[in-house]
Every structure is written in structure tokens, then in C-alpha cells.
Amino acid sequence: MPEVIFPGPEGRLEGRYHPQKEKDAPIAIVLHPHPQFGGTMNNKVVYNLHYAFYNMGFTVLRFNFRGVGRSQGEYDQGIGELSDAASALDYLQSMNNNSKHCWVAGFSFGAWIGMQLLMRRPEITGFISVSPPANMYDFSFLAPCPASGLIINGSHDRVAPPADTKSLVNKLHEQHGITITHQEVEGADHFFKEPHMDTMIGSVSTYVKRRLTENTR
């Protein structure tokens, strides 16, 4: 899988880019957890999401936020990281002009950034939000949430408690014109340690495949 370096707002950003042969393949970007708590693009959840999308026929990009790995800059409370994600999406789109579907997936802190990216980029057709930390970050900007997506978390998540995830989902369920699907993986923690990783990735794949055949927002 090619290593790529592309321009970000604060210098170079390092990523892994995995293109399909088809020129009009759907595209997906995958966002990693909190940079100050060891989050990188090689996080297990991020890596598995990347390959799940690739195996479904997507051209995929995952990358390191500023200050992580070989990406330049330093941690910026989520503000700069959102700009990084926008730059990464620009880069992905610039190489895939014919793509009809654009998805964003994020894990933990990356889920929070991904949902914000969704608000800024109307071309995003679907999202996957894994273990969104609704207890730590304000998700009230999702008013209204512009696209349908899947929120998936573990029933034994001690980092982002399920009750907070449920209240976020309930708020989103009140909105019209989109469908928020919520799945809770029984017994899984925040990081979907084995044997729960396969269950989570299976749920994501089933959801994305269904959405692609329905062709809905």
C-alpha cells in the first residue's frame, strides 16, 4: 500500500493510500483516535476499517493528524485536526474526480472529527462513527446532521459510556430526512478487543454494502 505525503494546513501530512483499479470507485477517509493518547493511523480499529472499505471496492485514505508520525505541526484541540481531515479529503478527491460516493469513518476522537467534517462537506454521502466520545466532546453541531450513517459502540465501553452514546443517537433520531443506525456490540470495550473486532467490522461492512445498493443519502 503506497505511503503518501500530501500538503496539510500546517505542513506535510503522512498517509496510506489504497486505490482501486476502477476510476469511478467510491472513496473513503478513515480518521484515527486522539493524538495525545497514542492515536495513529495504524491503530487496530482504523487499520481494520481501512481494509474493510477497501475490500468493499472503495479507494481508501487513512493518515496521521498533525504532530503524529511524520505529519508536521502539533496537536490543536481538534480545530487543526478538522482542517487536516479537510485537506486529506481534498487530496483524495483530487485523485478520484469520477467518484460518486464519499464516506468518512472515524474511531473515538476521529469519530468526533469525522462528524464535524460531515457538516462542512455536503458531498459526503455516509459516515461510520465508531465509539464516538459523546461524554467528552460536544456533538450539538449536528443540527441537522446532513447524511445518514452508522454509530457503533461497545456495551462495556468505559471510555465513552454507552448511555452517552444512546443519548446522542436519540437526539439524531429526532431529525428528519436522514436515518441514523445504531448498533451496540455486546461485551465489547472502547477498542473492540478480540473477539469483538470481527463483529464490529462485520456490522460496518453489512451496513455500507446495504447503503451502496440502496444508493441513498
> Which candidate, 107, 89, 132, places its Cα nearest to that of 31?
107
Within 8 A by CB and 6+ apart from 111, the residues are: 31, 129, 130, 131, 132, 133
Indicate the average pLDDT of the chain. Answer: 96
For cell 460516493, the residue is 101
- Report the alpha-carbon distance of residue 37 to residue 180 in Å, rounded: 29
CA distances from 156 to 137, 192, 196 (A): 19, 10, 11
What's the mean pLDDT in 54-71?
98
- Over residues 62-86, the mean pLDDT reads 98
* Sole residue written with cell 469513518: 105
pLDDT of residue 215: 66
- Vertex 76: Cα angle to 51 and 38 (nearest 5): 45
Structure confidence by residue, pLDDT tens digits, 85-131: 999 999 999 999 999 999 999 999 999 999 999 999 999 999 999 99
What is the rounded average pLDDT of the residues 9-19?
Answer: 98
Instruction: Please give the class, per CATH, of domain 3-214.
Output: alpha beta
Query: pLDDT tens digit string along 157-185?
Result: 999 999 999 999 999 999 999 999 999 99
The pLDDT value given to residue 1: 65
Q: Are 3 and 14 in contact (CB under 8 A)?
A: yes
Nearest to 134 by CA among 158, 110, 113, 161: 161
Show Cβ contacts of residue 81 under 8 Å, excluding neighbours closer than 6 positions. Answer: 35, 65, 66, 75, 109, 113
Q: Is the dihedral of CA 35, 41, 47, 49 positive or negative?
A: positive
* Domains in the chain: boundaries: 3-214
Task: Read off the pTM.
Answer: 0.97
Q: How much of the chain, in percent, has pLDDT values that exceed 90? A: 97
Residue 214 has a pLDDT of 86
Q: Looking up cell 500538503, which residue turns up?
A: 7
